[in-house]
Structure 1
């Protein structure tokens, strides 16, 4: 079983990132930041995260996309602004198909959500600093086991939100 911490849109807050890392460091094998950290690549708070460049990362030298192999799954990480994710996941689904990714992590909209389109699971952890559509500052721990992806949603201020736990079938 693999557990991956997924955050996005921290917009300059090193305190939030440090605290979340501290809470989950022993529980997860990988950490993803889906962009708009507004930090430099050498900032200690972003250290340990696979991080991509968001539309507010003006001075950061992060890649536009990243790929992670985890337990046989290919995960594509993008911010989402280059794929117009605020209006549709169509462009991003094409990119997932091109790359062979079966899981895509993205941010940009600050809206928590997950959905499966075809064979691809799309995950947006929301924003840990400036959420939209809800008050909770959210992030996700993705648990991969036996062709299943379980998404555990956390509210930064109040912990795990059991009512929002979702399970999806995913292929490797």
Structure 2
């Protein structure tokens, strides 16, 4: 299973469409972790799983989803309800409650990948307003039955941020 993961795009459509077009043929699914600030009817979001962020219109999207793609169970939420800017503990508890392999979240605009209790957590950063790094980023997540590889990319050039690549055993 290979997924494109975006978050915190805050009203941008051209940039989202460009990143999706860049990777559409190589991924099984596209996930948007919230704060798209677009209506649910926006054509750029048509082929994506999307959750509600704190800047989105209320009830535009679900607050959380669990999806299975190619045998990999994925939980996605924006992260604001789990205080991800303060600690990852609440979201790790939620991931365990959901019984998933992967958790995708956003909100902090900080790209990160880590593993806790056998679950891999990924925040792709922001396509618009980066924090902690200068690059506007997104992620590609490749999960096999035994391993997860997370790659982060810079939005404009599509260049991999190789110092951020992470691999985890499941």
Aligned twin of 2:106 = 107
The 1:163/1:6 distance shift into structure 2, 3 A limit, reads same
Aligned twin of 1:130 = 129
Aligned twin of 1:26 = 25
Matched, 1:148 2:151: no
The runs of at least 4 consecutive aligned structure 1 residues that moved more than 3 Å come to none
Within 2, Cα distance between the matches of 1:16 and 1:161? Answer: 18
Count of residue pairs the alignment pairs up: 169
In structure 1, list runs of 5 or more residues that go unmatched. none
1:59 is displaced (CA, Å) by: 4.7
1:58 is displaced (CA, Å) by: 2.2
Q: Secondary structure at the match of 1:25?
A: helix
- TM-score between both structures, scaled by the size of structure 1: 0.94
Aligned twin of 2:71 = 72
Superimposed CA distance per residue, residues 89-108 of structure 1 (whole angstroms, 9 cap, x where no aligned partner): 11111111111112100000
Matched, 1:169 2:169: yes
Matched, 1:39 2:25: no
> Does the CA contact (< 8 Å) of 1:41 and 1:60 recur in 2?
no
- TM-score between both structures, scaled by the size of structure 2: 0.95
